[in-house]
C-alpha cells in the first residue's frame, strides 16, 4: 500500500488553510499547517512533507519568498516541491518565472488565489506522484 | 491576516524637507561680477589709449613739428603702459575672490584707483604738451563718463573734483612758473598760459563741463542700475517660482505614488477575504463536505464572518476617506462637547468591558467646553482609541479614560493595562492596516485602520496623538485639540 503523502500548508489565513485542507484530505493526503514562515520552516524540518503549499504574503509582503529561500538552503528540505500561492497580477519585485536567467523565485509552481480545488489537486498530484 | 509592513504611512504626507531642484533658470551675474567685467573692459580699452598716446606723440613731434619734449612724454606713455599691466593682473586677482561682497568692495576701489591714476597721467601729459593750450584737455570728460558708469554718484563727483583740482594746479603752475610751461608754438598765437582771464575761463569751463557730464551720466547710470535691480529681483522671483513649482510637482508625484501604493494595499486587503469566501463556498458547492453537515455549516459561517469583516473594512476605509476629504464639512456642523462624546463612547463600551471583567472608568473634567470637531468626528477618534483599549486588555484589567483642560486646549487620554505594543513595531502604529503581532494573536480579525482614522481626525485640528506603551504593562494614548467655546450652548 502506497505511503500516505503529507502536504504542509503555510498560510496565515485560517479559512484558506481550512478550505485547502478539506480538499487535500478528501483526496487522501495528510495535511499539516503553519501560520507563518518561521513556523512553516520549523514544521517542514519536523515532519518532512512531500509537498509544501506556501503563501507569498503573510506577516510581511515577502515572507513567503524568504521562507522559500530558507527551505531551499537547507539540505533536509531543499528537494521538497513548493507550490506558491500568489495573485497572478502581484508585483513582488522579483521575477516569478523560473525561465528567467536572472533572479527568480526558487519554487516549483504557482497556484492562483482564490484556489481552484481541481487545479490544486492536479498540481499536487503531479509533484507528489510523478509518472 | 495579511499585514504588509511596508504599507503607506498614515494621514497626510509628512515629507522630509525638499531639496532644491537643479537651477532651471540661468542665474544673473551679481553686481560684483558686472562691475568686474566693466573694469576689466576699461583695462582693455586702456591698451588702445596707450597706443594712442604713443601715436599722438609721434605725430605731434614728427608730422606736425610741435616742440613737445619727447623724453618726459615717452616716459609718461611708458608709465601708462606699466600701470595698465598692473591693472590687468589686479583684475585677474579680483576674479578669484569668492566672497561676493568683498569682491564688490575691492572692485570699487580698483575702479577709483584706475580713474584717479588716469587723471594724474593725463594731467602730466597735458602739462608737457602745452598745458591749457592743449585741446586734449577735453579728454577729462571721457573719464567722467567712465567714472559715472563704474562708480557711485558720490565717487564720480569726487573724481570730477580731483580732475578739476589737477587741471587747476597745472594751469596755475603754467601761469605762475612760465619756465615750467611747454608752449605749443604755431598752435596758438602767444602764450595764453600767462593770460589770467583765459586761464580762469578755461578752468571754469572745464569744471562746469566735468560736473555736468557727471550729473548727466550719473543720472542715466542710476536709472540703468535701478532697472538692473528690478531685473535682478524679477529674476529672483522667477527662480523662487520655478523652485516652488518643481517642489510642488515633486510632492504631487509623491502623493500620486503613495495613492497608487495605497490602492494596491487596499486591493490586497479586499481580495484576501474574498479569496477566503470563495474557497469556503466552493467546497460547499462542489460537494466536498456533503457527508459532513457540521463542517459544511462551519465553512458557510467562515464565509459569512469574512464577509462581515469585509463590510467593516470597507466602512472604515470610507470613514478614512471622508475624514481626509478636503471639503471642511465640519464648518456646517456645530462644535462638539467633548465630554458628552467621551461619556457616550464609554457607555457603549461598558457592556463589552463588563463581559471581560475590565474596570472601565471615566474622569471627565472639561464640562461644557466645546472643540472644533463635529460630534461624529470626535466619536470616531475617541471611539477607536477606547474600543482598542478594551479589546486588547485581558480580563480583569483596567481602562481609565479622562479629559481635562490645559490652557486653551482640551485633552483626552485613555490608559489601559493591556497587552502593550512591542517597541520595534511602534513606529508603524498609525500606518493603515498595521496590527501589532501580539494584537493579531489575541484578535485574528481587525482592519488595522482605527488608529489611522483617529490620527487623521486629530491632525486636522493641529493636534497629534501621543502614546506610551510597554508589552505586558499596557498602553496610554492621549491627544489635545483647541477649545473653541468654554461654555454654554446645548449639550450634544
CA of A96 vs chain B CAs: smallest distance (Å) = 18
Is 60 exceeded by the pLDDT of residue A56? yes
What is the band of B250 on the pLDDT scale with cuts at 50, 70, 90?
very high
A–B CB contacts, 8 A cutoff, strictly below? 68
What local confidence, expressed as pLDDT, does residue B342 receive? 95
Which residues of chain A does B4 touch, with a Cβ-Cβ cutoff of 8 Å? 57, 60-61
Cell of B472: 505586558
Query: Do the chains contact at B283 and A61, CB–CB below 8 Å?
Result: no
On whether the pTM is more than 0.90, the answer is no
What is the band of B278 on the pLDDT scale with cuts at 50, 70, 90?
very high
Burial of B152 (0-12, 13-18, 19+ CB in 10 A): middle
Is 70 exceeded by the pLDDT of residue A29? yes
CA-based torsion, B288, B293, B298, B300: positive or negative: positive
What is the band of B34 on the pLDDT scale with cuts at 50, 70, 90?
confident
CA of A115 vs chain B CAs: smallest distance (Å) = 6
What is the band of B318 on the pLDDT scale with cuts at 50, 70, 90?
confident
B371-418 pLDDT, tens per residue? 988 888 899 999 999 999 999 999 999 999 999 999 999 999 999 999
Please give the share of chain A, as a percent, with pLDDT higher than 70: 83
CA of B482 vs chain A CAs: smallest distance (Å) = 38
B362 phi and psi, to 5 degrees? -135, 130
CA of A12 vs chain B CAs: smallest distance (Å) = 6
DSSP A5: P
Which residues of chain B does A60 touch, with a Cβ-Cβ cutoff of 8 Å? 3-6
Which residues of chain B does A57 touch, with a Cβ-Cβ cutoff of 8 Å? 2, 4, 268
Nearest to A118 by CA among B133, B342, B279: B279
Which residues of chain A does B286 touch, with a Cβ-Cβ cutoff of 8 Å? 117
B291, closest residue in chain A (CA to CA): A26
Q: What is the 3-class SS of chain B, one letter each residue?
A: CCCCCCCCCCCCCCCCCCCCCCCCCCCCCCHHHHHHHHHHHHHHHHHHHHHHHHHHHHHHHHHCCCCCCHHHHHHHHHHHHHHHHHHHHHHHHHHCCCCHHHHHHHHHHHHHHHHHHHHHHHHHHHHCCCHHHCHHHHHHHHHHHHHHHHCCHHHHHHHHHHHHHHHHHHHHHHHHCHHHCCCCCCCCCCCHHHCHHHHHHHHHHHHHHHHHHHHHHHHHHHHHHHHHHHHHHHHHHHHHHHHHHHHHHHHHHHHHHHHHHHHHHHHHHHHHHHHHHHHHHHHHHCCCCCCCHHHHHHHHHHHHHHHHHHHHHHHHHHHHHHHHCCCCHHHHCCCEEHHHHHHHHHHHHHHHHHHCCCEEEEEECCCCCEECCCHHHHHHHHHHHHHHHHHCCCCCCEEEEEEEEECCEEEEEEEECCCCCCHHHHHHCCCCCCCCHHHHHHCCCCCCCHHHHHHHHHHCCCCCEEEEEECCCEEEEEEEEECCECCCCCCC
Q: Which residues make beta-bridge pairs with B361? A: B400
Burial of B481 (0-12, 13-18, 19+ CB in 10 A): buried
What local confidence, expressed as pLDDT, does residue B420 receive? 93
Mean pLDDT over residues B225-246, rounded?
90
Is 70 exceeded by the pLDDT of residue A95? no
What is the band of B228 on the pLDDT scale with cuts at 50, 70, 90?
confident
What is the band of B14 on the pLDDT scale with cuts at 50, 70, 90?
very low
Query: Do the chains contact at A114 and B1, CB–CB below 8 Å?
Result: no
ipTM of the shown complex: 0.85
Q: Which of residues 293-312 of B touch A (CB under 8 A)?
A: 295, 298-299, 302-303, 306
Nearest to B279 by CA among B309, B310, B308, B300: B300
CB-nearest partner of A23 from B3, B275, B283: B283
Residue B126 to residues B73, B199, B203, B474, Cα–Cα distance (Å): 9, 14, 14, 99
Query: Do the chains contact at B272 and A23, CB–CB below 8 Å?
Result: no
- Of A11, A14, A22, which to mutate for an interface test with B (greatest number of B Cβ within 10 Å)? A22
Mean pLDDT over residues B408-435, rounded?
91
What is the band of B11 on the pLDDT scale with cuts at 50, 70, 90?
very low
List all residues 6 or more positions away from B55 whose beta carbon is below 8 Å from its beta carbon. none
CA of B246 vs chain A CAs: smallest distance (Å) = 29
CA of B441 vs chain A CAs: smallest distance (Å) = 11
Query: Do the chains contact at B295 and A58, CB–CB below 8 Å?
Result: no
What is the band of A103 on the pLDDT scale with cuts at 50, 70, 90?
low
Which residues of chain A does B444 touch, with a Cβ-Cβ cutoff of 8 Å? 14
B79 touching A (Cβ < 8 Å)? no
CB-nearest partner of A15 from B6, B302, B437: B302
B352-362 pLDDT, tens per residue? 999 999 999 99
What is the band of B110 on the pLDDT scale with cuts at 50, 70, 90?
very high
**Averaged pLDDT score across all residues of chain A:** 84
Which residues of chain B does A87 touch, with a Cβ-Cβ cutoff of 8 Å? 268, 271
CB-nearest partner of A13 from B1, B5, B268: B1
Determine which of A87-101, B276-290, B441-455 has the lowest per-residue pLDDT on average. A87-101
Determine which of A25-29, B190-194, B454-458 has the lowest per-residue pLDDT on average. B190-194
What local confidence, expressed as pLDDT, does residue A18 receive? 94
Query: Do the chains contact at B275 and A113, CB–CB below 8 Å?
Result: yes
Q: Which of residues 421-450 of B touch A (CB under 8 A)?
A: 437, 444
B304, closest residue in chain A (CA to CA): A15
Which residues of chain A does B271 touch, with a Cβ-Cβ cutoff of 8 Å? 87, 113
What local confidence, expressed as pLDDT, does residue B333 receive? 73
Which residues of chain A does B275 touch, with a Cβ-Cβ cutoff of 8 Å? 13, 16, 113-115
Residue B432 · residue B488 · CB < 8 Å: no
Determine which of A95-104, B99-108, B353-362, B389-398 has the lowest per-residue pLDDT on average. A95-104
CB-nearest partner of B280 from A19, A61, A87: A19
Nearest to A20 by CA among B276, B440, B298: B276
CA of A79 vs chain B CAs: smallest distance (Å) = 28
Nearest to B159 by CA among B208, B81, B211: B211
What local confidence, expressed as pLDDT, does residue B328 receive? 52
B331 touching A (Cβ < 8 Å)? no
Query: Do the chains contact at B288 and A13, CB–CB below 8 Å?
Result: no
Distance (Å, rounded) from C-alpha B468 to C-alpha B472? Answer: 13
Task: Provide the CB-side half-sphere exposure for B273 (13 A, CA).
Answer: 22
Terminal-residue alpha carbon distance, chain A: 17
Q: What share of chain A is helix, strand, coil (3-state, %, to 5)?
A: 35, 20, 45
Cell of B48: 588702445
CB-nearest partner of A22 from B5, B274, B288: B288
What is the band of A122 on the pLDDT scale with cuts at 50, 70, 90?
very high
Query: Do the chains contact at B5 and A14, CB–CB below 8 Å?
Result: no
What local confidence, expressed as pLDDT, does residue B279 receive? 92
CA of B278 vs chain A CAs: smallest distance (Å) = 7
- Of A19, A86, A113, which to mutate for an interface test with B (greatest number of B Cβ within 10 Å)? A19
Query: Do the chains contact at B279 and A59, CB–CB below 8 Å?
Result: no
CB-nearest partner of B279 from A12, A15, A61: A15
B327 phi and psi, to 5 degrees? -70, 120
Kindly provide the b/e burial profile for residues B277-309, where b requires at least 16 CB atoms within 10 angstroms of the residue's own CB.
bbbbbbbbeeebbeeeeeebebbbebbebbeeb
Cell of A126: 503531479
CB-nearest partner of B275 from A16, A23, A61: A16
**Averaged pLDDT score across all residues of chain B:** 86
Amino acid at each position: 500500500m502506497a505511503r500516505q503523502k503529507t502536504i504542509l500548508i503555510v498560510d496565515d489565513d485560517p479559512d484558506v488553510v481550512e478550505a485547502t485542507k478539506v480538499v487535500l484530505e478528501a483526496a487522501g493526503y495528510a495535511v499539516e499547517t503553519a501560520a507563518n514562515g518561521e513556523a512553516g520552516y520549523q514544521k517542514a524540518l519536523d515532519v518532512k512533507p512531500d509537498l509544501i503549499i506556501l503563501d507569498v504574503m503573510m506577516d510581511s509582503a515577502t515572507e513567503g519568498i524568504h521562507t522559500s529561500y530558507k527551505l531551499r538552503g537547507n539540505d533536509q528540505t531543499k528537494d521538497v516541491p513548493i507550490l506558491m500561492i500568489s495573485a497572478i497580477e502581484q508585483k513582488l519585485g522579483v521575477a516569478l518565472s523560473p525561465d528567467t536567467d536572472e533572479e527568480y523565485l526558487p519554487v516549483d509552481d504557482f497556484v492562483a488565489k482564490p484556489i481552484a480545488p481541481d487545479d490544486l489537486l492536479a498540481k499536487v498530484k503531479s509533484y507528489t506522484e510523478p509518472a | 491576516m495579511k499585514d504588509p509592513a511596508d504599507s503607506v504611512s498614515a494621514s497626510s504626507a509628512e515629507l522630509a524637507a525638499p531639496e532644491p531642484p537643479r537651477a532651471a533658470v540661468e542665474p544673473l551675474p551679481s553686481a560684483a561680477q558686472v562691475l568686474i567685467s566693466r573694469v576689466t573692459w576699461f583695462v582693455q580699452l586702456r591698451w588702445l589709449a596707450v597706443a594712442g598716446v604713443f601715436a599722438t606723440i609721434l605725430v605731434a613731434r614728427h608730422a606736425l613739428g610741435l616742440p613737445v619734449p619727447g623724453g618726459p612724454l615717452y616716459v609718461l606713455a611708458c608709465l601708462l603702459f606699466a600701470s595698465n599691466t598692473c591693472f590687468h593682473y589686479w583684475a585677474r586677482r579680483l576674479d578669484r575672490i569668492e566672497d561676493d561682497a568683498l569682491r564688490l568692495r575691492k572692485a570699487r576701489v580698483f575702479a577709483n584707483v584706475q580713474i584717479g591714476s588716469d587723471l594724474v597721467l593725463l594731467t602730466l601729459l597735458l602739462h608737457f604738451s602745452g598745458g591749457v593750450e592743449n585741446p586734449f584737455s577735453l579728454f577729462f570728460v571721457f573719464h567722467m563718463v567712465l567714472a559715472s558708469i563704474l562708480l557711485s554718484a558720490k565717487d564720480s563727483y569726487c573724481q570730477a573734483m580731483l580732475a578739476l583740482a589737477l587741471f587747476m594746479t597745472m594751469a596755475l603752475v603754467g601761469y605762475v612758473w612760465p619756465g615750467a610751461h611747454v608752449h605749443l608754438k604755431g598752435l596758438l598765437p602767444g602764450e595764453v598760459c600767462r593770460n589770467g582771464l583765459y586761464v580762469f575761463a578755461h578752468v571754469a569751463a572745464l569744471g562746469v563741463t566735468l560736473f555736468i557730464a557727471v550729473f548727466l551720466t550719473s543720472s542715466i547710470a542710476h536709472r540703468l542700475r535701478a532697472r538692473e535691480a528690478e531685473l535682478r529681483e524679477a529674476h529672483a522671483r522667477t527662480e523662487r517660482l520655478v523652485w516652488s513649482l518643481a517642489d510642488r510637482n515633486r510632492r504631487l508625484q509623491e502623493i500620486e505614488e503613495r495613492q497608487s501604493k495605497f490602492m494596491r494595499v487596499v486591493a490586497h486587503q479586499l481580495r484576501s477575504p474574498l479569496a477566503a469566501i470563495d474557497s469556503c463556498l466552493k467546497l460547499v458547492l462542489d460537494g466536498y463536505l456533503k457527508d459532513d453537515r457540521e463542517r459544511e455549516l462551519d465553512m458557510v459561517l467562515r464565509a459569512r464572518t469574512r464577509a462581515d469583516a469585509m463590510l467593516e473594512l470597507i466602512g472604515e476605509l470610507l470613514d478614512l476617506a471622508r475624514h481626509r476629504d478636503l471639503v471642511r464639512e465640519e464648518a456646517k456642523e456645530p462644535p462638539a462637547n467633548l465630554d458628552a462624546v467621551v461619556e457616550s463612547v464609554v457607555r457603549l463600551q461598558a457592556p463589552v468591558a463588563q463581559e471581560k471583567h475590565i474596570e472601565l472608568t471615566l474622569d471627565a473634567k472639561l464640562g461644557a467646553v466645546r472643540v472644533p470637531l463635529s460630534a461624529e468626528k470626535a466619536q470616531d477618534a475617541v471611539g477607536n482609541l477606547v474600543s482598542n483599549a478594551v479589546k486588547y486588555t485581558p480580563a480583569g484589567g483596567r481602562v481609565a479614560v479622562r479629559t481635562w483642560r490645559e490652557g486653551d486646549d482640551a485633552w483626552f487620554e485613555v490608559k489601559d493595562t493591556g497587552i502593550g505594543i512591542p517597541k520595534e513595531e511602534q513606529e508603524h502604529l498609525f500606518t493603515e492596516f498595521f496590527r501589532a503581532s501580539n494584537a493579531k494573536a489575541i484578535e485574528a480579525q481587525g482592519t488595522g485602520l482605527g488608529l489611522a482614522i483617529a490620527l487623521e481626525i486629530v491632525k486636522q485640528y493641529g493636534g497629534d496623538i501621543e502614546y506610551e506603551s510597554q508589552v505586558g504593562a499596557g498602553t496610554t494614548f492621549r491627544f489635545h485639540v483647541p477649545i473653541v467655546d468654554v461654555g454654554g450652548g446645548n449639550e450634544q
